[in-house]
C-alpha cells in the first residue's frame, strides 16, 4: 500500500481507487473493505464527499482515521456523480484510476487483473470487466445476474446490427468496472457534468471514448454490483423530463461523432431511434391535461421519420378520442401538469431531417 511522505501526504501510487459518496451509509463499509482485501497492494483510496449524508461521512472518517496512509477524503460540492468522479480523478495520485460506487464491491483480484490487462493492452481506451449483480434478502447476498455490460435495447438497435466490426462490438461498461490510465481520462475530459442531474453519464462516456480507441474487456467477474431490486429495467431517472433531456443530448453526441463516419452507417438506425423516442415522449404529454397538441405534434414528427409505424399511427388515431378516454388509451392513472421548464422540440436542428 502507499505510504505518506514526511508531510503526511500520500506519495505516488500505481492505482487510485476513486469512490464517490452520497447516501451509501453502512454499505460503504463493505465497499472499502473489498478494496482493502485486494491482492494488489500499491493503491490509495480517494473518497469523494459529494454532499454525502452524515451516516456515510461517519463511515468515511472512521476508515480514514484507521488507514491514514491509504485513504483520503476530498470534497466536491457540485452535486452529481459526473462532477464527483471528475474531482476524484483529478485528485488521484495513481498512474491508473479504478472507479467504484460506494455501495458496490470488488472481488480480491480486480485491481491485479485489470492492471495486467492495462499493461498488456496500452492501446485500449479503458479496461472493463464482467460483474455479478446481487440484492440483500434477509441479511444475505443473493446473486441473480451475471453480466458483461449494461444492456440497452436502443444501443443494440444502433450498433449490434452493423456490419462494421468496430461499431458492432460497441458496449457500455458498468461504471464500477472502469479502469483507465489517469492521463488518458484527463486528456479526454472525463465525465460530462450535463449528466449530474440525470442518468446517462456512463453511456455518454462510452460513446465518446469508443470513437478514440476500443475498450479491452476482462471476462472474469471482478465486481459485485448492488441492486435495489431484481428488476434491472428501472435504472434511470423517474422524471420523464430528465429522460427526454438525456435522450436529446445523447442523440446530438451520436450525430457529432458519426455524421462524418465513412458511409454514415448510423444514419438510418438513428432515424428509427428518434422516431421511437418521439413516440414515447408523446405518451408523457398525453398524460398532461394540456398536452394534447404537443403529443400529436410529436407523433407527426415520429411518422415523418418512420411513416410505416403502425403503432405510431394507432396512437395518433387514439389522440382524437375524447380526453376522458386518455387514461385508459395511453396507459396512465393520474393526470399530470404540462412542464414549463422543458422545450418539447426535442431532436431538432441540424441533428434531424424530418422531411426526408
Per-residue pLDDT tens, the chain, 356 aa: give them.
655 554 455 578 999 999 999 999 999 999 999 999 999 999 999 999 999 999 999 999 999 999 999 999 999 999 999 999 999 999 999 999 999 999 999 999 999 999 999 999 999 999 999 999 999 998 899 999 999 999 999 999 999 889 888 899 999 999 999 999 999 999 999 999 999 988 899 999 999 999 878 899 999 999 999 998 887 664 445 588 889 999 999 999 999 888 877 788 899 999 999 999 999 999 999 999 999 999 999 999 999 999 999 999 999 999 999 999 999 999 999 999 888 766 677 877 544 455 44
pLDDT of residue 339: 83
Q: Measured between alpha carbons, how far is 101 from 79 in angstroms, rounded to an integer?
A: 15
Both 292 and 320 in one domain: the answer is yes
Does residue 316 share a domain with residue 278? Answer: yes
Residue 5 domain-assigned (yes or no): no
Residue 232 lies in a domain: no
In a domain, 271, yes or no: yes
Copy the grid coordinates of residue 194.
450535463
The pLDDT score that the predictor gives to residue 356 is 43
Q: How many residues does the chain have?
A: 356
Are 209 and 258 in a shared domain? no
Domain boundary (226, 257, 290) is at: 226
Task: Report d(CA 243, CA 246) in Å as an integer.
Answer: 5
Look at residues 211, 203, 191, 316 and name the one whose alpha carbon lies nearest to residue 250.
203
Does residue 8 lie within any of the structural domains?
no
In a shared domain, residues 109 and 220: yes
- Provide the domain count of the chain: 2
pLDDT of residue 198: 87
Question: Same domain, yes or no, for 327 and 219?
Answer: no
Q: 3-class secondary structure for the chain?
A: CCCECCCCCECCEEEEEEEEECCCCCHHHHHHHHHHCCCCCCEEEEEEECCCCHHHHHHHHHHHHHCCCCEEEEECCCCCHHHHHHHHHHHCCEEEEEEEECCCEECCCHHHHHHHHHHHCCCCCCEEEEEEEEEEECCEEEEEEEECCCCCHHHHHHHHCCCCHHHHCCCCCCHHHCEEEHHHHHHHCCCCHHHHHCCCHHHHHHHHHHHHCCCEEEEEEEEEEECCCCCCCCCCCCCHHHHHHHHHHHHHHHHHHHCCCCCCCCHHHHHHHHHHHHHHHHHHHHCECCCHHHHHHHHHHHHHHCCCCHHHHHHHHHCCCCHHHHHHHCCCCCCECCCCCCCCCCCCHHHCCCCC
Indicate whether 176 and 304 sit together in one domain: no
Distance CA 306, CA 318 (A): 18
248 occurs within a structural domain: yes
| CATH value at residue 211 | 3.90.550.10
Q: Which of 179, 201, 226 corresponds to the end of one domain? A: 226
Same structural domain for residues 204 and 244?
A: no
For residue 356, tell me if it sits in a domain.
no
Q: Element (H or E) spanning 218, and its range?
A: strand 216-226
Residues 149 and 84 in one domain: yes
Last residue of a domain, one of 175, 202, 226: 226
Q: Is residue 206 part of a domain?
A: yes
Shared domain check, 188 and 44: yes
CA distance 170 to 128: 13
Domain hosting 218: range is 13-226
Same domain, 252 and 203: no
User: Is the pTM value of this prediction over 0.85?
Assistant: yes
Rg of the chain over CA atoms, in angstroms? 23
| pLDDT for res 254 | 93
**Same domain for 246 and 97?**
no
User: Which of 92, 309, 310, 321 minimizes the C-alpha distance to 186?
Assistant: 92
Residues 184 and 292 in one domain: no
Ramachandran angles phi, psi of 266, nearest 5°: -90, 0
Note whether residue 259 is domain-resident: yes
Task: Return the pLDDT at 5.
Answer: 53
Parallel/antiparallel/unpaired status of strands 105-106 and 216-226: antiparallel
Amino acid at each position: 500500500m502507499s505510504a505518506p511522505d514526511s508531510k503526511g501526504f500520500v506519495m505516488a501510487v500505481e492505482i487510485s481507487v476513486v469512490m464517490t459518496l452520497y447516501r451509501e451509509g453502512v454499505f460503504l463499509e463493505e465497499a472499502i473493505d473489498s478494496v482493502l482485501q485486494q491482492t494488489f497492494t500499491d493503491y490509495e483510496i480517494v473518497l469523494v464527499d459529494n454532499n454525502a449524508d452524515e451516516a456515510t461521512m461517519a463511515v468515511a472518517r472512521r476508515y480514514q482515521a484507521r488507514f491514514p496512509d491509504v485513504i483520503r477524503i476530498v470534497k466536491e460540492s457540485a452535486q452529481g456523480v459526473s462532477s464527483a468522479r471528475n474531482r476524484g480523478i483529478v485528485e488521484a495520485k495513481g498512474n491508473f484510476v479504478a472507479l467504484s460506487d460506494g455501495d458496490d464491491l470488488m472481488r480480491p483480484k480486480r485491481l491485479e487483473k485489470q492492471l495486467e490487462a492495462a499493461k498488456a493492452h496500452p492501446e485500449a481506451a479503458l479496461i472493463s470487466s464482467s460483474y455479478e449483480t446481487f440484492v440483500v434478502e434477509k441479511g444475505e447476498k443473493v446473486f441473480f445476474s451475471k453480466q458483461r455490460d449494461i444492456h440497452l435495447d436502443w444501443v443494440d438497435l444502433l450498433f449490434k446490427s452493423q456490419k462494421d466490426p468496430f461499431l458492432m462490438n460497441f458496449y457500455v461498461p458498468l461504471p464500477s468496472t472502469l479502469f483507465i490510465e489517469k492521463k488518458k481520462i484527463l486528456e479526454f475530459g472525463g465525465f460530462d457534468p450535463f449528466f449530474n442531474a440525470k442518468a446517462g453519464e456512463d453511456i455518454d462516456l462510452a460513446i465518446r471514448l469508443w470513437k478514440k480507441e476500443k475498450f479491452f474487456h476482462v471476462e472474469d467477474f471482478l465486481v459485485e454490483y448492488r441492486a435495489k431490486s431484481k428488476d434491472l429495467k428501472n435504472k434511470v431517472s423517474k422524471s420523464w423530463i430528465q429522460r427526454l433531456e438525456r435522450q436529446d443530448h445523447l442523440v446530438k453526441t451520436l450525430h457529432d461523432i458519426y455524421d462524418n463516419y465513412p458511409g454514415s452507417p448510423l444514419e438510418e438506425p438513428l432515424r428509427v431511434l428518434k422516431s421511437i423516442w418521439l413516440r414515447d415522449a408523446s405518451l408523457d404529454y398525453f398524460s398532461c391535461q394540456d398536452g394534447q397538441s404537443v403529443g400529436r405534434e410529436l407523433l407527426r414528427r415520429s411518422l415523418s421519420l418512420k411513416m410505416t409505424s403502425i403503432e405510431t399511427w394507432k396512437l395518433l388515431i387514439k389522440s382524437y378520442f375524447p380526453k376522458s378516454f386518455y387514461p385508459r388509451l395511453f396507459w396512465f392513472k393520474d393526470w399530470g401538469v404540462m412542464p414549463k421548464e422543458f422545450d418539447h422540440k426535442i431532436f431538432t436542428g441540424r441533428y434531424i431531417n424530418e422531411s426526408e
